[in-house]
Amino acid sequence: MAYPIAQQAPPSLAFPFASRPSPLSFNFGLPSTPATSPHKSITHNLPTFSSGCTPHACYNSSATATPTHLSLKRARRSLSPSTSPPASRSQQTSKKLNKHESSIIAQRTIQTTSDRATKPIKRTKLQVLHVEPQPDNAIDPGIMLATMPPSAHLPILLQLLRDNPSLSQSVLSMIPRPDLKTYVKELDGKFAELERTTGRLSSPLPFSGALSEARRWDRATSTVEEYCHMVSTYVQYALSHPQKGAIGTQALFTFLQPITFHLIAILALIPSPARLDQSSLPCPAPLVLNFAKMLLSAWSSWISELSSDVNDKGEMHPHSTVTHWAETLDQVALGSFIGQTVTISSMGHWSSSTPDSGLPQRESALVVSFREAFSSMRDEFLAQVGWLIGRQKVMSM
């Protein structure tokens, strides 16, 4: 049967008779055992062969009967709002427990709420801090100090420290890194004030004698005491506060050199006692001797630091600088400027002019004692770093 091109062939063709396998196929098209498939119901509906009916006749009779329509489609699931699989038995049990716990928590919440409603509310007691109100027209001490000259601040600070000695450490911690040049300038000014009171300390007295020395010392007593107090404070602060910043060897030498010459001049001003002990010295001579001991200790620390820098750390210094150091130590130890006018500047350099008299001046016993003690410092310097300038320790005869 021919169909037009635009018309599609039907999906199935109706045959007037049921198809059957060929007798020559040895029943290969039929299953030998009942299959466990959805078509199992078909085999159950096949007619039973009787003794009086041939298989062929029975087959034909069953073929003419109305076929049973079987649905091979899967059963459609019931639609669910979620795509999650059905809950297992354990999950159902946990859900029941959760519902039970939720009900218990709800009951407790209701009970707690009812308890809170019955209990009185605790109110926080506010304590009012009674702060003394400051009037708007209170005097600001900062403004008053700013209007005062800087010279007036020191007496106020000193009075506060006298009334509250515990403030001393707080004030010292606020002081910045020490400037040794500033210290030298202040000490030079105080030493110049001492010379204005007693005359030039390097020049001999016009009338020598015990009475003249005593009068000269009496006029210089207060100024010497102030100078010793200042220089002792500067030396202790510079050497005992390394956290303020390391002080170089050159800076420390520039600080120690001028105050050493100041000390020698002050020692020469003290009247010579019969015995070299502090009990027979006029006041404030013991304060000067204590300063001399402190100064020798400072020189010893400087030599040790210099030796560590050169011999241990490998630092080097110019030949001219080391030579100047050695010459200065020689002058202090040997007294080469006796009979000459010495001028000490704030930079630590000194120069000499022509001698005031042709005869060398005799030094006091205190000055000689200090030079002998300082000679050991000079020898230690040459033993440690004298090789930088080709010098060795001077052998005593």
pLDDT of residue 43: 45
Give CA–CA dist 397/138, Å, rounded.
Answer: 77
Nearest to 199 by CA among 214, 219, 185, 184: 219
255 exposed, middle or buried (CB, 10 Å; 0-12, 13-18, 19+)? buried
| Largest Cα span, the chain | 181
Contact indicator for 266, 289 with CB cutoff of 8 Å:
no
CA 283, CA 218: separation in Å to the nearest integer?
9
Query: Tens digit of pLDDT per residue, the chain (397 long)?
Result: 555 555 555 555 555 555 555 555 555 555 555 545 444 444 444 444 444 444 444 444 444 444 555 556 565 655 545 455 555 555 555 555 566 666 666 666 666 555 555 656 666 665 655 556 556 668 888 888 899 998 899 899 999 999 999 998 888 888 877 788 999 999 999 999 999 988 776 655 544 555 577 788 888 889 999 999 999 999 988 887 655 556 788 999 999 999 999 999 999 888 876 544 555 667 778 889 999 999 999 999 999 999 999 999 989 899 999 999 999 999 999 885 443 434 443 333 433 333 444 444 678 888 999 999 999 999 999 999 999 999 877 655 4
Element of type H or E holding 351: strand 350-352
Backbone φ/ψ region at 342: left (φ over 0), alpha (ψ -120 to 50), beta: beta
Domain limits of the chain?
157-353+361-388
**In b/e form, how buried is each residue of 269-290, taking b as 16+ CB within 10 angstroms?**
bbbebeeeeeeebeebbebbbe
Local structure of residue 277 (DSSP, 8 states)? S
3-state class (DSSP) for residue 19: coil
pLDDT of residue 207: 45
According to DSSP H, which parts of 75-152 are helical? 89-118, 141-147
Q: Dihedral sign for Cα 207, 209, 214, 220, please.
A: positive
